[in-house]
């Protein structure tokens, strides 16, 4: 079965290189055979023309409006001009997906040029919409308690705001945001629309390792800001390039990012579909630990992808075995009634649906002590080395059995 999947994936790559439609076998092996949970409504606005921000970009793009359900009631704002029934909107520019679309050499060799692959620029992944949906459910405490707030021990997401030094703002960083950090943009939109709790401001930094994604999120920021007027001072959205590294260089990059955030650590870190990059587990964990303040939270929205999510949690647990735990964390699979209902339906009726790669779980993490850059990083790197050594040993043993 593994050989069949590998062969099918090579056919997918061949089709992409040649610009041909995928065969039925290749389509069945593709992760995109399932259309996703689609927890947000998306509507085409227009086919985009290159902007002044990146007029040399040769990709074809379209502009979309996302309608974001929210649980805000009039008790959370006093402005009569804002109605509780008004939906939040986020506007993005996304690459147009065409059947038989040919992949270019730059995208294929992205990891060599930029240190990260091009998956974030290929599409907006379904986990991003699921994460956004769950965040909006957790933003207001007059809704029934969400899995996020109950596990993190807060009444709502706004309780994570620092409220230090007269800074009444929620500082958010999204990692691996890809071409459209909808989750981060949606949190900013709550403030732009005047929906944030007690007038709390929202400061959002959308990051990705690929410069094209950073550039596109700059475009998305302008598009989303254009939808709102009257509360611009309550939200600030920026984008920046950030590669995850388990080295001193990675620590320096995070220090610079915090310096550019007025020396404020972040209250909330968001990441969707990032944990399956198993070779970057230590780098991802260290990046989150460097950016979050003590008491801050990280929310990962991620399918299990075989054992990748469990492996990441084992790494977090390994770091916790030092003198004092760095994290409190929990994994939640059953977190939303609508998601659970669709999951059961797809499992019974849709043969293209594979929960391991399509159903996202929520990993909720709380930082409970200061990071010891040297010792915690050493622990994480050693864990990865031991894990790789075990994998090599297991593969060698299997090879001997075959022979």
Q: What is the mean pLDDT of residues 240-245?
A: 97
The DSSP secondary structure of 338-356, one letter per residue, reads HHHHHHHHHHHH-TT--HH
E-strand spans in 58-122? 61-68, 88-95
Q: What is the mean pLDDT of residues 162-185?
A: 89
pLDDT of residue 380: 97
383: helix, coil or strand? helix
How far is C-alpha 15 from the geometric centre of its chain's CA atoms? 28
- Asked whether residue 77 carries a pLDDT value surpassing 70, the answer given is no
Q: What is the mean pLDDT of residues 233-240?
A: 94
Dihedral (CA of 220, 222, 228, 231) sign: positive
pLDDT of residue 19: 54
pLDDT of residue 145: 66
Q: What is the mean pLDDT of residues 157-186?
A: 90
CB 318 within 8 A of CB 289: no
Q: How many CB atoms lie within 10 A of CB 145?
A: 13
Q: Give the tens place of pLDDT for each residue, 29-76.
A: 566 789 999 999 999 999 976 655 555 455 689 999 999 887 665 444
Ranges 68-72, 192-196, 218-222, 380-384: which has the least confidence? 68-72
What does the alpha-carbon distance between residue 106 and residue 211 come to, in Å, rounded to a whole number?
12
pLDDT of residue 22: 52
Ranges 149-158, 169-178, 268-277, 334-343: which has the least confidence? 149-158
pLDDT of residue 74: 41
pLDDT of residue 285: 98
- Asked whether residue 354 carries a pLDDT value surpassing 60, the answer given is yes
CB 330 within 8 A of CB 151: yes
Triad 106, 108, 109: Cα angle to 5°: 70
Confidence of residue 379 (pLDDT cuts 50, 70, 90): very high
pLDDT of residue 328: 97
- Asked whether residue 330 carries a pLDDT value surpassing 50, the answer given is yes
What does the alpha-carbon distance between residue 71 and residue 159 come to, in Å, rounded to a whole number?
16
The DSSP secondary structure of 124-154, one letter per residue, reads --HHHHHHHHHHHHTS-TTSPPPHHHHHHT-
pLDDT of residue 156: 87
Listed residue (200, 239, 196) closest to 216, CA to CA: 239
How far is C-alpha 271 from the geometric centre of its chain's CA atoms? 3
What does the alpha-carbon distance between residue 291 and residue 176 come to, in Å, rounded to a whole number?
14
**pTM of the predicted model, to two decimals?**
0.87
Q: What is the mean pLDDT of residues 111-128?
A: 85
What does the alpha-carbon distance between residue 191 and residue 141 come to, in Å, rounded to a whole number?
16
- Asked whether residue 79 carries a pLDDT value surpassing 50, the answer given is no
Q: What is the DSSP letter of 39?
A: -
pLDDT of residue 194: 86
The CA radius of gyration of the chain, in Å to the nearest whole number, is: 21
Listed residue (129, 135, 127, 131) closest to 72, CA to CA: 135
For 33-125, where are the alpha helices, taking DSSP H only? 105-108, 110-114, 119-122
Residues 6 or more apart whose CB falls under 8 angstroms from that of 239 comprise: 177, 181, 205, 206, 207, 208, 214, 215, 217, 218, 221
Whole-number percent of the chain with pLDDT over 90: 60
pLDDT of residue 72: 62
What does the alpha-carbon distance between residue 296 and residue 131 come to, in Å, rounded to a whole number?
18
pLDDT of residue 269: 98
CB 115 within 8 A of CB 209: yes
Q: What is the mean pLDDT of the chain?
A: 84
Q: Give the tens place of pLDDT for each residue, 247-284.
A: 999 999 999 999 998 889 999 999 999 999 899 999 99
CB 185 within 8 A of CB 237: yes
Whole-number percent of the chain with pLDDT over 70: 78
Confidence of residue 103 (pLDDT cuts 50, 70, 90): low
Residues 6 or more apart whose CB falls under 8 angstroms from that of 388 comprise: none
- Give the chain's end-to-end CA distance (angstroms, integer): 19
Residue predicted with more confidence, 143 or 98: 98
- Asked whether residue 4 carries a pLDDT value surpassing 60, the answer given is no
pLDDT of residue 348: 96
Q: Please, what's the b/e burial string for 2-18 (b: 16 or more CB within 10 A of its CB; e: otherwise)? A: eeeeeebeebbeebbee
Ranges 22-31, 84-93, 302-311, 354-363: which has the least confidence? 22-31
Q: What is the mean pLDDT of residues 172-199?
A: 92
Helix-, strand-, coil-residue percentages of the chain, each rounded to 5: 45, 20, 35
Q: What is the DSSP letter of 1?
A: -
What does the alpha-carbon distance between residue 68 and residue 139 come to, in Å, rounded to a whole number?
12
């Amino acid at each position: 079965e593994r050989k069949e999947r590998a062969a099918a994936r090579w056919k997918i790559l061949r089709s992409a290189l040649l610009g041909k439609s995928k065969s039925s076998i290749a389509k069945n092996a593709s992760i995109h055979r399932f259309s996703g949970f689609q927890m947000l409504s998306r509507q085409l606005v227009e086919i985009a023309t290159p902007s002044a921000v990146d007029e040399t970009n040769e990709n074809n793009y379209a502009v979309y409006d996302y309608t974001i359900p929210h649980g805000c009631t009039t008790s959370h704002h006093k402005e009569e001009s804002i109605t509780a029934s008004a939906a939040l909107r986020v506007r993005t520019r996304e690459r147009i997906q065409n059947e038989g679309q040919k992949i270019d050499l730059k995208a294929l060799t992205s990891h060599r040029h930029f240190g990260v692959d091009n998956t974030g620029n290929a599409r907006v992944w379904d986990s991003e919409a699921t994460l956004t949906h769950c965040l909006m459910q957790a933003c207001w405490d007059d809704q029934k308690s969400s899995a996020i707030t109950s596990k993190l021990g807060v009444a709502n997401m706004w309780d994570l705001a620092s409220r230090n030094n007269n800074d009444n703002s929620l500082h958010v960083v999204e990692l691996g945001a890809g071409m459209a950090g909808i989750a981060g943009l949606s949190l900013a939109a709550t403030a732009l629309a005047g929906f944030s709790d007690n007038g709390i401001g929202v400061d959002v930094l959308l990051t990705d390792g690929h410069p094209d994604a950073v550039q596109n999120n700059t475009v998305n920021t302008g598009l989303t800001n254009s939808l709102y007027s009257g509360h611009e001072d309550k939200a600030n959205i920026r984008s920046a390039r950030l590669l995850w590294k388990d080295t001193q260089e990675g620590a320096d990059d995070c220090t610079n990012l915090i310096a550019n955030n007025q020396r404020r650590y972040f209250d909330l870190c968001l990441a969707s579909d990032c944990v399956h990059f198993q070779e970057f587990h230590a780098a991802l964990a260290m990046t989150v630990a460097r950016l979050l303040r003590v008491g801050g939270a990280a929310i990962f929205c991620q399918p299990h992808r075989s054992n990748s999510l469990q492996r990441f949690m084992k790494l977090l647990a390994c770091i916790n075995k030092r003198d004092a735990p760095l994290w409190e964390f929990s994994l939640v699979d059953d977190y939303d009634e609508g998601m659970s209902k669709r999951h059961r339906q797809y499992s019974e009726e849709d043969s293209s649906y594979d929960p391991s790669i399509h159903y996202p779980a929520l990993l909720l993490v709380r930082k409970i002590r200061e990071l010891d850059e040297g010792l915690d990083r050493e622990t994480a790197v050693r864990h990865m080395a031991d894990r790789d050594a075990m994998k090599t040993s297991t593969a060698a043993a299997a090879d001997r059995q075959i022979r």
